[in-house]
Structure 1
Amino acid sequence: MHELESLKNIFKDRIFKIPDYQRGYAWTERQLKDFWEDVVNLPPDRFHYTGLLSLKKVDKSVWNNWNDERWLLEDRGYKPFHVVDGQQRLTTFVIFIQAISELLKTIPENKDEEIYLGSFSLKAIKEEYLVVQRPPQFIISTYKFSYEVDNPSFQFLKYRIFNELNSGTIQETFYTLNLENAKRFFTENLKNYYEKYGIIEIETLFKKITQNLMFNVYEISDDFDVFVAFETMNNRGKKLSNLELLKNRLIYLTTLYDEKELKKDERFCLREKINDSWKEVYYQLGRNKQNPLNDDDFLVAHWIMYFQYTREKGDDYIRFLLEQKFTSQNIYAKTEVIVSTLQEFQEVREEEKENDQEDIEENGNEEKVVLRSKLSPKEIEDYVNSLKAAAVHWYNTHNPVNNPDLTSAESLWIDRLNRIGIIYFRPLVTVSFLSKDVDSKQRIKLFKAIERFIFITFRLSRAFSSYRNSEFYKAARQFRNNELSVDDIINKLQANMDRWLFYTPENSSEIYFNYGHFQKYLEKQFKNGGGYYYWNGLKYFLYEYEMEKVRQRGSQKIDWKLFVKGEKDKISIEHIFPQTPDNQCWKDSFKGYKKSEINIFQGTLGNLLPLSQSINSSLQNDCFLDKKNPRYNERKEKIRQGYSDGSHSEIEVSTYEDWHPDAILERGINLIEFMEKRWNIKFENDHAKTEILFLEFMVSDEGETETENTNE
């Protein structure tokens, strides 16, 4: 242990690199805000303990291969270190200082060759903390703090954070997104701080972060297990994700095999494969900057696809990976393996080759028992290759729209699955792209069956979200191992619905949908005053009806993202007959019905309409004729769009002359018949359809509607 050291001390004659077993930059806006507040509020004459900085000196056999850094190490006596713990804070300091240096260049009175921050020259600041150029040609730029060269964050740090020119293609990942956000955060905050307080306060901030924030620097000795130290130390601060812990563990395990089982070049190759896999995984997880994917979600899903699923506790997957499968005990524990003498022969020295070949020919291909680690290097290789292969398909299942990797039909059906709520089927969908034996047509067939299962089982019949999940998690692994076909899985889906969701009456061969579960659920929603409006499948159902009209007529008018986005005091699904029917026009159209029946007319399916543009909820109470046509204020500004120029569903409703109980029943029956056709279900008769609409009171025994009887 050493005494507390400031950043100025720490960076003196040292070069820092983030080793391959480390995660990338993980701080988000919450940590950045805390850091900024700490720096701003720290009195200039006070020191502040920042935490532990654990370093491991890099061996010469490693840094000898560092081209850009070697001159500082050999000529100027710098010492190279891997950062084991403290990477997040060190990265944040460096980005902060870079943002200050860029701010100084934007101040009009500053000229490039003579920029100063108080008594600190910009050139000295950059050389002390950021980058040193090798004289006399100044071709080599050596970064005081960086990543290993093969890490995508290294290129990003150089070209996007430090602004080195001529970057070429830069691979962006889950972690580079955090680097970019951190730089934007400090750039904006420093600019605002400068405009408010002036350059003197920027100098104060610089002094505070380089001289007042103190680290406890700890150098890990050679005999200390650096990988175990990394796992233990990173339980502090922003906790390591399980995917990050697993990468460190796998790299650590490659160091434990003895030379007989894993030669030096094989060890290096396996370590490279682990790094390549994680590089690809983090690239895919961070591809969509607006919606980066959760790394632990991916790890859980891959575990489901790759290993035998169990349902003990939520964290049993990581306990299996880190405590049962990928452990040092499984390398030290030996198991007997039968190998042929031919395999043994391939491992002998070159000069003994001829004699051994004669023995082989004479004795034949004999078998012998040797001891090998319980966890073989090949198992690690297969696992990381599988992670790498699955990552792009995992990304595609989350981002199907306008995705060139998918056919238009695949994109359409995966988008539907995301909209309806894919629940536990994403691993199965991902696996469908990993098998060479499954073509696009088979995938579409599978996606259709999954979407139908979700709609009927969960949206209509109200099964718990975990219903049969372990069966289909296991099916994902069996599918990956070619133990199940697409048809096998579709049959499983249907069998799980046949048990309780379909029935065949006596003396009939027809199969009908058992809507009793949906009916009970809706009864509760009507009692709560919402009816179908409270159904969590409503937006998906109405959108699918609308998209069916788009396929028939063209011109899409409803954007799903805007349709499902909640806006205060605005609605995207309208009660045509409003919930507050105060206008006389509504009282006339629904004369003669009880209050309980009025409530059903308001909340039944046929009365609910998806709007192409959300409107203020107060406009819902307009009369039907006013809703059909655009409405303007005194300044002749349109304050609501009419049904006649809205969505296809609105245009369809606008063809009704008036809106009354018969119109609601007719449209409701049309929507139920669309449901039958779209999801391949069948209601037994017209009575069943009116019953599920809760409008059976409108139909007399002779089949006439109540309004027809009243009019007589």
Structure 2
Amino acid sequence: MNELQSLQSIFKDKIFKIPDYQRGYAWTSSKHLKDFWEDVVNLPNDRFHYTGMLSLKRVENNVWSNWNDERWLIEERSFKPFYIVDGQQRLTTFIIFIQSISELLKQLPTNKDKSDDEIYLGSFSLKTIKEDYLLVRKPPQFIIQTYKFGYETDNPSFKFLKHRIFNEPDGGSIQETFYTLNLENAKAFFIENLTNYFEKYGIEEIQMLFKKLTQNLMFNVYEISDDFDVFVAFETMNNRGKKLSNLELLKNRLIYLTTLYNEDELKSDERFSLREKINDSWKEVYHQLGRNKRNPLNDDDFLVAHWIMYFQYTREKGDDYIRFLLEQKFTPQNVYAKTEVKLDAVKQFREVREYEENDIDDEDEDIEISVPTVVLKSKLTPKEIEEYVNSLKSAAVHWYDIHNPKNNKNLTTDESMWIDRLNRIGIIYFRPLITASFLSKKIDAHERVKLFEAIERFIFITFRLSRAFSTYRNSEFYKAARQLRQGELNVSQIISRLNERMDYCFTHNETTGNTFFDYGFFQKHLDRKFKSGGGFYSWNGLRYFLYEYEMDKVRQRGNQKIDWSLFVRGEKDKVSIEHIYPQTPDNKYWKENFKNFKKQQKFLQGTLGNLLPLSQSINSSLQNDSFPNKKAAKFNEKSEKVRLGYSDGSHSEIEVAQYENWNPENIYERGFFLLNFMERRWNLKFEDNTAKADLLFLKFMEE
């Protein structure tokens, strides 16, 4: 362990690389950055602050000798190259901070048109700051730019760091990942805060921030010397800070395992190739997980789903998948443990000689000699690792697609539509099965759509209507994902199984052969909702159902008027589904039209036919307007429109606006109309109108 060192001392004559087994920049929350910023700002000018341990591993000659841009500094100026084993999150943050300071200096009006060696922060020129911490250009041509801190070659984070963080021009297309998003956010944070700090305190305080950053924040620097230790150290050391995700731990483990095979089983070029495939797979995985910047995907969720598709699913505990991967499957013990493998017998023959016809002696006949060959192979073979990481890489693409189906060129129009529906209804535990359907070349888009349609119907009927527990049959369909990927089940068999598992939702008349939807489970659920004052309005499938009805109208007439993301977003004191006959019917209009149904008021208010999806959410206080006023747009005293009328609203609103008045009979009629749509859309049938009235809680209307 060395004495405490400042950043200024640490960076002197050194090059730092983040090795391939490391994760990328993982500070995702503004809290990490805010805490770091406040530590620097609030540190007294004459005090030192312990920042933590920096664990390094010296890069071997046979590795850095293949580095093109860095080799000249090592050979000509005796720079020492190091891998960062622990501390990269803080070190990356330091570098982005310094880069942000340099950009602030460059943009000051007083520095306009000045070169880097003419711009100063205190006694340091901008050129010196960059060369000490960021990059050095090789003279005399200055073509080679050597970054003192970066990632190993072919890491998308390094290209992003150079072109988007350090502003190196001509970056071309840059692959973005979950980690590059974190780099981008960190730079934006420091640029904004430094600008505000400069405007408030001036350049002298920026100079003081730089001094504290580079001279007052102190590290313990520890150099790791053993190859074996470096992988184990990475797992243990990094878990002290922002805990490694399971996907990050797995990558480190797989690369570590490649170093354990002996030369007979994994030659040097094969070892290098396998390590490259691991890195390539993780690069693709993180690209796909971070493609949607507004909604990056969780890496552990992906790893769980892939485990379900690839290995045998079990129902033990929530972390059984990672315990299996790290403690049972991908372990050093499985590399060291050897099993005898009998190769095919090696057939050897005596050399064929020419001979005259009939000149054959029994002794001289060619004799086939079988030599059985037995070799020792690791229980976990390199081929298994290769197949596993290739599968991860392939699955990641489809994982992104099924989370982002809209306007996705990888999907057909029907695939996109049905996956979007599944995301909206709540895909529950079917995402691995849906992903697996893309991994088999034997399944085409038409078959997939049939599967998606069957899954959506299963979810709606089983979970939204018949109120099954969310874990109902999850083990069976998790296992089906693996069986589908391996070709042990086909799409038709899975659809049949889905339909069979819905049998309890239907009643079968053996005499007539008719099958009807058994709405009893749904009705009991609604009865509890009505007792608490909600009715259908509190049903968790209502928004999906009404949106599907609205989209059915859109497909017939065009002009979509309801945005799903806005439709489901909760806003205080606003509603996106309106009780046409309001819950507080104080208006004279409502009292007159419903005067004969005071006892049944809550059923008429909360039943399906009285609920209407709005194209724009409105203040709940506007719901008490009379029906004629609801049909027309409403304006305030300043002639500003405060709500759309039904006549200018969604297709559902326009449909309701055709009624001259709103009364119990119209609520009853519209409820039947919506249940008829339910029958068509999800291929189910109610026994008769009495059953429909019973489910709507409007049997008193028949009387």
TM superposition score category, shorter chain reference: over 0.9
Partners in 2 of 1:54 and 1:128 — Cα distance? 20
| Distance in 2 of aligned mates of 1:21 and 1:212 | 31
**Is the counterpart of residue 319 in structure 1 residue 323 in structure 2?**
yes
CA contact (8 A) 1:578 1:602 kept: yes
- Local SS of the residue matching 1:55: strand
How big is the shift at 1:365?
6.2
CA–CA separation in structure 1 for the residues paired with 2:369 and 2:177? 53
Shift of 1:224: 5.0
Q: State the SS of the aligned residue for 2:513.
A: coil
Quote the residue 1:457 is aligned against: 462
Question: 1:202 matched to which residue of 2?
Answer: 206
Structure-2 residue corresponding to 1:444 = 449
Instruction: Specify the SS of the correspondent of 2:604.
Output: helix
User: Structure 2 residue aligned with 1:677, among 641, 664, 680?
Assistant: 680
Identify unmatched segments of 5+ residues in structure 2. Answer: 352-365
Does residue 544 in structure 1 map to residue 548 in structure 2?
Answer: yes
- Structure 1 match to 2:301: 297
Distance 1:99 1:342 in 2: 66
Specify whether residues 116 and 659 from structure 1 end up closer, same or farther in structure 2 by C-alpha distance, changes over 3 A only: same
In 1: Cα distance, 2:32 partner to 2:227 partner: 34
Contact 2:350 2:367 in 1 (8 A): no
1:337 Cα shift? 1.1
Q: Aligned equivalents of 2:369 and 2:626: distance in 1?
A: 95
Structure 1 vs Structure 2: percent identity of aligned residues? 74
> Quick one: distance in 2 between partners of 1:578 and 1:403?
41
* Aligned partners of 2:517 and 2:685 also within 8 Å: yes
Quote the residue 1:419 is aligned against.
Answer: 424
For residues 232 and 693 of structure 1, what CA distance do their matches in structure 2 show? 59
TM-score calculated relative to the size of structure 2: 0.96
In the alignment, residue 555 of structure 1 is paired with which amino acid?
N
Q: Is the 8 A contact 1:172 1:286 kept in 2?
A: yes
AA at the equivalent of 1:16: F
Aligned counterpart, 2:159? 155
Residue in structure 1 matching 2:614, options 592, 596, 611? 611
Q: Which moved more, 1:30-39 or 1:472-481?
A: 30-39
- Structure 1 residues 589-628: aligned runs within 5 Å: 589-595=593-599, 597-628=600-631
- The amino acid across from 1:109 in the alignment is T
| Over 6 Å off, 4+ runs | none
Give how far 1:341 is off: 4.5
Per the alignment, residue 382 of structure 2 pairs with 377
Counterpart residue number, 1:259: 263
**What stretches of structure 1 of length at least 5 have no aligned partner?**
346-352, 356-360, 701-712
The offset of 1:633, in angstroms, is: 2.5
Q: 1:631 aligns with which of 631, 634, 647?
A: 634
8 A contact 2:288–2:397 mirrored in 1: yes
Cα pair 2:58 2:223 within 8 Å, conserved: yes
Deviation (angstroms), 1:106 = 1.1
CA distance in 2, matches of 1:633, 1:126: 60
Report how far residue 21 of structure 1 moved. Answer: 0.4
Distance 2:579 2:537 in 1: 9
Question: 1:34 matched to which residue of 2?
Answer: 35
TM-score, normalised by the number of residues in structure 1: 0.95
Alpha-carbon distance, 1:223 to partner: 5.4
Secondary structure in 2 matching 1:509: coil
| Counterpart residue number, 1:61 | 62
Deviations 1:168-209 (A, max 9, x none): 111111111111111111111111111111111111111111
Which residue in the other structure is 2:397 paired with?
392
Match of 2:224 in 1: 220
2:94 is matched with which residue? 93
Listed one character per residue, the Cα deviations across residues 55-91 of structure 1 (whole Å, up to 9, x for unaligned) are 0000010000011011110010100000000010000
User: CA deviation digits over 1:596-626, x for unaligned, max 9?
Assistant: x101100000000000111111110000000
CA distances 1:539-571 after superposition (whole Å, capped 9, x unpaired): 000000000111111111111111111111111
On the 8 A contact 2:346/2:373 being kept in 1, the answer is no
The offset of 1:44, in angstroms, is 1.1
Aligned equivalent of 2:509, options 480, 505, 511: 505
The residue type paired with residue 547 of structure 1 is: M
- Give, in whole Å, the separation in 2 of the partners of 1:256 and 1:276: 20
SS state of the match for residue 422, structure 1? coil
CA distance in 2, matches of 1:362, 1:271: 45
- CA distance in 2 between partners of 1:518 and 1:491 (Å): 24
CA 1:45–1:171 in 2, change beyond 3 Å: closer, same or farther?
A: same
Q: Distance in 1 between matches of 2:429 and 2:219?
A: 45
Shift of 1:366: 4.8
In the alignment, the residues of structure 2 paired with residue 687 and residue 525 of structure 1 have an alpha-carbon distance, to the nearest angstrom, of 21
Residue in 2 aligned with 1:648?
651
Note closer, same or farther for the CA distance 1:581–1:226 as it changes in structure 2 (3 Å cut).
same
Residue 81 of structure 2 is matched in structure 1 by 80
1: CA distance between counterparts of 2:236 and 2:340?
33
For the residue of structure 2 that corresponds to 1:68, the secondary structure is helix
Aligned amino acid, residue 614 of structure 1: S
| Matched residue type, 2:424 | R
* Alignment partner, residue 103 of structure 1: 104
Go from structure 1 to structure 2 and tell me whether the alpha carbon gap of 1:224 and 1:372 turns closer, same or farther (over 3 Å shift): closer
Quote the residue 1:13 is aligned against: 13
Distance 2:321 2:587 in 1: 60
Contact 1:340–1:365 (8 Å) recurs in 2: no
Match for 1:165: what amino acid? P
Name 2:359's counterpart in structure 1: none
Shift of 1:645: 1.1
Q: How far apart are 1:8 and its partner, in Å?
A: 0.3
